[in-house]
Amino acid sequence: MHRYFIVFSYNGSDYHGWQRQINALSVQEVLESKLSLHLHEKVEVVGAGRTDTGVHAKMMFAHFDFQNEIKDLNKLAYKLNTTLGKAIAVSKIKNVNHEAHARFDAKLRTYQYHLIQEKNPFLDGLAYLHFKELDFDKMNKAAELLIGEKDFSCFSKSKTQTFTNDCEVTEAYWEKRKEEWVFTISANRFLRNMVRSIVGTLIDVGENKLEIEDIPTIIESKSRKEAGKSVPAHGLYLVDIKYPKELFI
């Protein structure tokens, strides 16, 4: 048995998230379907994590097993791209150690949230339009207080089945990129809805509904009710996942 990592991206607008669903179209379902078509047997893929309905991925990993060695991985990637449709693109397929796991071996994940403050038809559905004035300097000072290993229950969707809500955030900051403001956050793991609720809370800081010093209090409360509202999914992108080099053959 041979194991492969597939590296791909997708526009999540037309999908009900990454994970396979019974009555809704998911990215996982489409990818498995086309892999099975080209490899002529049923193939199941395991993703590096879940993205919710409407969330995008500029870089996503998944692994799959296949009985025989695939001689031309570039040819398989090409075939997949001809049948996956315009919203999903495979960049490469890599041979990895059989024990490699797309989800459990990921050491660092990075998300970005895109926000615009003026209507832009070319970013419709790809960035969150927020008209109100925001103090991004203040928001950046608040974001610094997220860095470190903490219990982020206050930013997590309730009733999630996780062993722990501890995450180690290594960077969190806003920066201006042309007409967009982009929030970047990296951590060893993320909870469900975590980034979108963090962004919503930082926006409350930027609107002076919250103060910078409120952030530690909110985190210590471990209560979702204390944090801000979740921002819309269409502004969120998974942009990077890091793995140990020794996984790849």
Give every CB contact of residue 48 below 8 A, 6+ residues apart in sequence: 60, 61, 62, 102, 103, 106, 109, 241
Separation between Cα atoms, residue 70 and residue 50, nearest integer Å: 27
- By the 10 Å C-beta count (0-12 exposed, 13-18 middle, 19+ buried), 132 is classed as exposed
The pair of three-digit structure tokens given for residue 42, joined into one six-digit string: 């049923």
Give every CB contact of residue 202 below 8 A, 6+ residues apart in sequence: 139, 142, 143, 174, 183, 228
- The count of other CB atoms within 10 Å of the CB of residue 176 is 9
Q: Look at residue 171 and give its three-state secondary structure.
A: strand
| Catalytic residue selected from 14, 52, 166, 214 | 52
Give every CB contact of residue 6 below 8 A, 6+ residues apart in sequence: 31, 35, 45, 61, 62, 63, 64, 90, 92, 93, 94
DSSP state, 229?
Answer: P
Sole residue written with tokens 């050491």: 107
Whether 52 is catalytic: yes
**Which pairing describes strands 128-129 and 108-116: parallel, antiparallel, or unpaired?**
parallel
99, 23 Cβ separation under 8 angstroms = no
Separation between Cα atoms, residue 105 and residue 230, nearest integer Å: 28
Active site residues: 52
